Amino acid sequence: MKVVMIGTGYVGLTTGLGYAKLGHHVACVDTDVAKIAQLDLGEVPFYEPELSEILREMQEEGRVMFTTDLASVIGRAEVIMIAVGTPASPTGEADLSAVFQVAEQIGSLLDHEAVIVVKSTVPPGTNKAVIARVRAAMQKAGKEVYSDVVTNASVPEFLREGSAFVDFFKPDRIVVGADDRIVQTILDRLHVGINAPRVFTTVESAELIKYAANAFLATKISFINEIANIAERIGADVTEVARGIGLDRRIGPHFLQAGIGYGGSCFPKDVSALHQLSGMNGYTFKLLSSVIEVNNRQRDLFFAKIERVMGPLKGRKIAVWGLAFKNDTDDVRESAAIDFVQRLCGRGAEVVVYDPKAMRNAKVILSQQVTFAPTALDAAMGADALLILTPWAEFRNVSFSFLHSSLLEPRIFDGRNLLADLDLAQKGFEYYGIGLG
Ligand SMILES: NC(=O)c1ccc[n+]([C@@H]2O[C@H](COP(=O)([O-])OP(=O)(O)OC[C@H]3O[C@@H](n4cnc5c(N)ncnc54)[C@H](O)[C@@H]3O)[C@@H](O)[C@H]2O)c1
């Protein structure tokens, strides 16, 4: 099939290459000229495992192309996907301006039958507004005769940064929200080759599934963080509790890692958007208010722990390992680690940071305030304390004897309980995790 993917970020590029790998012909469109130029040269503009190889492979096979000019590729598209960003607006609702702008652009250019798919995470009702905008723009451009054959579906994306390509090919399910049986069939055909249950729903249900999934996962994180805070007060170990409850198949082991809370480009904005959406529909989603509050408090509690142990931070040298919002990505959007670095700087600490992949993106936000070290151990040299804020595997594999001698004070605050099982106290460290008794 001929697919046009609009937006070549983490989702658009990964899924665009995924559809190409499935055998479709994909044209990827983005307004970011530099990004498209880079992709044209076979370079992925962000860090995501496996994408570089697959990009080169698909380019060699001629199944993917990149352009800033939607008009040049929309001509024969059977499926047009919208995967542009939907960040939080200042009031917490989803900012849909890019989605609507794309819808109007599609309408002004389209003059044939096509399915418009919204892959971006959008509140229920958005797909209807998108198709209305497409049709209105078609009519305005004198293409009224075609507007009835333009259909729409919501196909939300569930991939995780850091394992995006694997998630595309091995998803737990593919959700297709479409009111039209023919559209369902077309989108089922688009995904031939992916062995996963299809969940066919109404458009609104599909839109809500995405928000409900992210809100539920965020709730699990805030729940285990609450348990961690109790564990700490009564002398229990949250990692043992998480294992003890996670083996219950009704609960499951995932998203039960206590820490400094969730961040990233999805959970904070999606939880907040669902909360806002509920309010706008006359319903107070009380549970989500608490999920958000607990997540914010989690950072405050850990920061307070650091200050309680260290006293005033002014002039103290603090090493920070991890800046990305999670491991295996370079994405620092809404990263708790960035927030911590800013708080440390705000207290007058001298901060030296290291992250395996996210330093380039972090520099845009932090460059004036901190020193960027070339390795984890370089960052720790002469520091009064080490903070671990992103759970990268490489932080478990350093030489701890060397780390011990590098730190001025062998003190570790582990905001992800990444090293909790390594018995660092035995190795002479002062070790502080979250909810470890
Ligand atoms: N990142 C994730 O892990 C993830 C997972 C599931 C769903 N989502 C959702 O997918 C959507 C995209 O997220 P992302 O992380 O890929 O965003 P992103 O910011 O990485 O990419 C968005 C891209 O859209 C481009 N763009 C913006 N306006 C445009 C326009 N008018 N025309 C063409 N291109 C335009 C931007 O230049 C950018 O390259 C969001 O709604 C997000 O909530 C993200």
Q: Do residues 20 and 109 both lie within one domain?
A: yes
With a Cβ cut-off of 6 Å, ligand 1 is lined by 6-12, 29-32, 35, 83-86, 98, 101-102, 120-121, 157, 159, 161, 265-266
Pick the residue whose CA is nearest to atom 27 on ligand 1: 84
The yes-or-no answer on residue 28 being catalytic is no
Query: Which atom of ligand 1 is closest in space to residue 158's alpha carbon?
Result: 6
Count CB-CB contacts under 10 A for residue 149. Answer: 11
Contact status, residue 140 vs residue 165, Cβ threshold 8 Å? no
Q: Do residues 182 and 272 both lie within one domain?
A: no
Q: State which of 172, 201, 230 marks the end of a domain.
A: 201
pLDDT given at position 213: 98
Query: Which atom of ligand 1 is closest in space to residue 46's alpha carbon?
Result: 20
Domain of residue 316, residue span: 267-432
Q: What is the DSSP annotation of 152-168?
A: EEE------TTSHHHHH
Contacts 24+ apart (CB under 8 A), 363-371: 365/332, 365/338, 366/323, 366/338, 366/341, 366/342, 369/341, 369/342, 369/345, 370/320, 370/341, 370/345
244 located within any domain:
no
Contact status, residue 385 vs residue 318, Cβ threshold 8 Å? yes
Q: Do residues 20 and 117 both lie within one domain?
A: yes
Ligand 1 center from residue 174 Cα (angstroms): 19
Q: Do residues 140 and 288 both lie within one domain?
A: no
d(CA 188, CA 304): 51
- Give the neighbor-by-neighbor strand order of the sheet with 2-6: 64-67, 25-29, 2-6, 79-82, 114-118, 150-154, 174-177, 198-201
Pick the residue whose CA is nearest to atom 28 on ligand 1: 98
Catalytic residue among 82, 174, 266, 436: 266
Q: Do residues 295 and 162 both lie within one domain?
A: no
Ligand 1 pocket test, candidate residues 159, 265, 325, 330, most atoms within 8 A of CB? 265
284 located within any domain:
yes
Distance of CA 212 to CAs 207, 267, 270, 294, 358, Å? 9, 11, 9, 18, 29
Distance of CA 68 to CAs 7, 37, 46, 138, 417, Å? 10, 9, 18, 21, 44
> Nearest CA to 302 among 387, 219, 221?
387
pLDDT given at position 146: 77
260 located within any domain:
no
Say how many domains are in the chain: 2
Q: Tell me the pLDDT of the chain (437 aa) as tens digits.
A: 999 999 999 999 999 999 999 999 999 999 999 999 999 999 999 999 999 999 999 999 999 999 999 999 999 899 999 999 999 999 888 999 999 999 999 999 999 999 999 999 999 999 999 999 999 999 999 988 777 789 999 999 999 999 999 999 999 999 999 999 999 999 999 999 999 999 999 999 999 999 999 999 999 999 999 999 999 999 999 999 999 999 999 999 999 999 999 999 999 999 999 999 999 999 999 999 999 999 999 999 999 999 999 999 999 999 999 999 999 999 999 999 999 999 999 999 999 999 999 999 999 999 778 999 999 999 999 999 999 999 999 999 999 999 999 999 999 999 999 999 999 999 999 999 999 98
Q: State which of 174, 201, 228 marks the end of a domain.
A: 201
223 located within any domain:
no
* H/E stretch holding 232: helix 203-234
Ligand 1 pocket test, candidate residues 6, 109, 157, 166, most atoms within 8 A of CB? 157
3-state secondary structure of 88: strand
pLDDT given at position 143: 87
Query: Which atom of ligand 1 is closest in space to residue 99's alpha carbon?
Result: 31
d(CA 397, CA 395): 5
- The CATH number given to whatever domain includes residue 25 is 3.40.50.720
214 located within any domain:
no
Query: Which atom of ligand 1 is closest in space to residue 102's alpha carbon?
Result: 31
Q: Do residues 177 and 282 both lie within one domain?
A: no
Q: What's phi and psi for 254, nearest 5 deg?
A: -80, 150
Q: Do residues 190 and 296 both lie within one domain?
A: no
pLDDT given at position 157: 98
Distance of CA 412 to CAs 73, 349, 417, Å? 53, 16, 11
pLDDT given at position 256: 98
Ligand 1 center from residue 12 Cα (angstroms): 7
Contact status, residue 121 vs residue 86, Cβ threshold 8 Å? yes
* Joined tokens for residue 375: 């390795």
Pick the residue whose CA is nearest to atom 38 on ligand 1: 9
Ligand 1 center from residue 68 Cα (angstroms): 15
Q: Do residues 416 and 304 both lie within one domain?
A: yes
Ligand 1 center from residue 423 Cα (angstroms): 41
255 located within any domain:
no
Q: Do residues 62 and 173 both lie within one domain?
A: yes
Q: Is the pTM of this model over 0.75?
A: yes
Q: Do residues 342 and 427 both lie within one domain?
A: yes
Contact status, residue 5 vs residue 19, Cβ threshold 8 Å? yes
Ligand 1 center from residue 147 Cα (angstroms): 26
Ligand 1 center from residue 265 Cα (angstroms): 10
* Joined tokens for residue 258: 């206590």
Q: State which of 201, 235, 253 marks the end of a domain.
A: 201
pLDDT given at position 308: 98
246 located within any domain:
no
Query: Which atom of ligand 1 is closest in space to residue 266's alpha carbon?
Result: 43
419 located within any domain:
yes
Three-state secondary structure readout of 308-353: HHHCCCCCCEEEEECCCCCCCCCCCCCCHHHHHHHHHHHCCCEEEE
Q: Do residues 196 and 271 both lie within one domain?
A: no
Q: Do residues 305 and 398 both lie within one domain?
A: yes
Contact status, residue 295 vs residue 221, Cβ threshold 8 Å? yes
pLDDT given at position 168: 97
